[in-house]
Amino acid sequence: MKKNIVLILILIFQFTTAQEKSVNENLKHEYNLMIESESYKDYEQAAGEYINKIYFRKKFYEMCYENIFLEVMKENIGNTSFKSYEEAEKEYFVLKEKYSVMKGSNKGGYLALKDSKQWDLADIIDPIRRPEVDPCHCESTYSGNSNVLAFNYENVLKNKEESVVSTWIIYQKIKSTNQDAYKMCKLGCEQQ
């Protein structure tokens, strides 16, 4: 009986260590080139300014697709700093144009993404971190949530091209919320 338990423990250990993923080095290289490009920085800055005008919070699936995103914007325009829905929509389409320019100047990254496996980009953007000491589980919870969020973004990026900009906006908005929750968790943990 003891031999069986030891054997099971060894198998569990081997299974969990085999779960460690190797990073897609080509995708990582191309992604790093892309985020250093001027077109990416221009897009990211404009998207950041757009995000800062949105005061309401929604779940990822409630806004990730463009048609849903625009409908939610129309319904919640009073919870933004846009003067009207038309202004929000116009700025959104300017963002889409900036995205097209950025994508066109970073074709290597998109080809590498197309050839990658699911989770490859998520594990580059926001890899899961497992700290040795995490008494309140703040780091592991934040890391897991962020990785799944990055996976959702990656999935749209690979499969729903027309919704990439709206997905980027909601991805960044939720990522910011996760960061705030992590900070509050750490603060609460330190005060215990």
Residue 2: pLDDT band by 50, 70, 90 thresholds? low
Torsion of CA 180, 38, 156, 152, to 10 degrees: -30
SS3 of residue 20 by DSSP? coil
Higher-confidence residue of 98 and 22: namely 98
**Cβ count near 51 (within 10 Å):** 16
Name the most confidently modeled range: 19-28, 69-78, 138-147, 148-157: 69-78
Tell which residue, 27, 18, 33, has the closest CA to residue 117. 27
Contact yes or no for 189/181 (Cβ under 8 A): no
pLDDT, one tens digit per residue, over 103-125 is 999 999 999 999 999 899 999 98
Q: What percentage of the chain exceeds 70 in pLDDT?
A: 89
Alpha-carbon distance of 27 to 120, in angstroms, equals 8
pLDDT of 142 higher than 50? yes
Contact yes or no for 113/161 (Cβ under 8 A): no
When the pLDDT of each residue in the chain is averaged and rounded to a whole number, the result is 86
Q: What percentage of the chain exceeds 90 in pLDDT?
A: 48
Contact yes or no for 69/89 (Cβ under 8 A): no
CA Rg value for the chain: 20
- Residue with tokens 């463009």, as numbered in its chain: 66
Residue 20: pLDDT band by 50, 70, 90 thresholds? low
Amino acid symbol at 106: N
For 99, list phi and psi in degrees, rounded to 5.
-65, -45
- Going from the C-alpha of 156 to that of each of 99, 103, 159, 179, the distances in angstroms are 14, 15, 5, 22
- Helix axes 85-104 and 38-51, enclosed angle (nearest 10): 160
SS3 of residue 78 by DSSP? helix
pLDDT, one tens digit per residue, over 53-100 is 998 888 888 888 899 999 999 999 999 999 999 999 999 999 999 999
pLDDT of 21 higher than 70? no
Mean pLDDT of 13-35: 74
The pLDDT, as a whole number, for residue 48 is: 93
CA-based angle 168:90:77, to the nearest 5? Answer: 75
The pLDDT, as a whole number, for residue 128 is: 81
